[in-house]
Structure 1
Amino acid sequence: MKLFRNILLAVLALLLVSGLGGYFYMRKKFEPAANQLVITGLPATFNFAWEADKLGPHAALLVPVTLPGCPRTCYLQFDTGAPTSLLYANSLAALRKQYPATAQRLLPQADTVRDFTFTLGQAQVKARRLKAYQHGASELPADSTEHFIIGTLGADIVDGRVLVLDYAHQRFSLSTQLPDSLARRTEFVPLDYASRRLILTAQVQGKSEKLLFDSGTSAFALLTSQETWQQMARPQAPIQTGTGNAMGNTITTYTTATAAALQLNNLTVPLGTVTYVEGTRMMENLLMRFSGMGGMLGNEPFSQRTVVLDLQGERFGVVR
């Protein structure tokens, strides 16, 4: 009996140590590197653009940028699901070929571009170091008005700042403070910015949920687990399937109608649809589990509304 008790205690101790080790490993794994962006000249206000694909007209939210030595307007996909901004090496190579004046500035060294600068509206942005991944178009489109995407603008752009996204008028406004006149017209809920992930707390189906605000999931309202998807789906509603590419990883999406809504205090925002995904990487699934998130909230529920990300006040808001 004593031997059995000792074995049981040893197993419990091992499980406890393994659990703690796994917790700290996951924290370290998902902790982003130091913010490399230095921004001057705020506030910056400008129009953003939508990129369409087979998933719909709002597949990606694009912000226009200008680069030194490049006469063409380029675009970064605004993705708050990415804690760190990054560049596409294939796209940079195409720019260097077409515009030799950019060659020195846009040439990666060991997969990193150093002292990368660009103009964002009225603001100037300098990144000390940005990773350049083998991604993007290797040729410039013949049509100069066509969107040419050179990278991703991540959540590091809003660090310590205020972002107002007016979806109805496609306006992007980044500043250092929130006007009182706008704050009074906004319904706020708590916002957690730990590890540069924008996690808001709101009510869904009468339950308090932690939701990652991910502007990179533009075509969807709420991405969640298959189990939650089944609970939220309208009975007998048709299911729309689609395939996509997430940085080289093929995924399959399943979207259906839902009566569920996002409740921000006194403001109700209908979700319209709910989606689950197959084909995500194991590490992304583990992130969901370790963070306790109920899902990822995309742009679609706010397509005719204005969203406020107040990082100074640690709050997420929707203008009434």
Structure 2
Amino acid sequence: MADQGIEVGFIGLGMMGLPMARSLVARGFRVLGCDPSEAARAAVAEGAPAGAVAFAPDPAAVAARADVVVLMLPNSRVVAQVMEGPGGLLAALRPGTLVIDMSSSEPGETRRLAALIEARGAALVDAPVSGSVAKATTGTLAIMVGGEDAAFAKAEPVLKGMGEKIIRTGAVGSAHAMKALNNFVYAAGLLATAEALRMGSALGLDLGILTDVMNASSGRNIATETKSRQEIISGRYAGGFQLGLMRKDLDTAGSISDQTGIEAPSLALCRGLWAEAVEALGPGVDNTEIHRFLGIRASR
């Protein structure tokens, strides 16, 4: 259990942030939440011990009170608004404060904000997560962390309140870069799996057996293991990660390709197909619906 004296500011109580904040409370931390959604605020407080949850009206009020502040926001644009906009976090940061950016942010923007935070005598680590809402709920996320040793030492107990596998990745910005590249590889595997299932279906193959063959052979990947039978063949399409979030991570990987000058044709293919899928199905559907989109696309 955490030291009951530690209060963690938590900005962003969305689909992932809400269960992550609740996980911290379950492990003995006090949480100072900040989110415009009244329903999200009520959900964090529901069932919490007396005094374990409080709320701040804006990010500046979080900075004035909490020594550790977690950001779980949709993208770098929103992170910048929370940091630098009216009532923002940056101007109110006190020396010694630690900001943990767990959002899916762009590495270059993360480094820019880290420099601004350092100029105020505070520190930032980037700590994006891998795992579904289910893992956030149970506090078993995998968390990548970029930052200096002292900042990591301060962040580690808080991160362990939300995840079970903590992987240090290097300097600030490296974790956001590695998450984007990892998710590109996942998207490529999911796309290949969906295409193989489509072709197998057209041949009249037993897709369950095809999945068993892939999982016992060189085609095995996380999509064949955890998405093929469970989400795609079943038609459930509820793997826990939105199509729009997948596109966002692919776009971040694309910015890395541009910055490094490394040509990545398979990444370009994935970005194009996911952009088409989001336009056709909307960003809120599950990312496994890339399989359904391929069927729609073939029928045009």
TM-score normalised to the size of structure 1? 0.28
Question: More relative contact order in 1 or in 2 (CA 8 Å, sep 6+)?
Answer: 1
Judging by fraction of residues, say which structure has more strand.
1
Report the structure number with the largest CA radius of gyration.
1
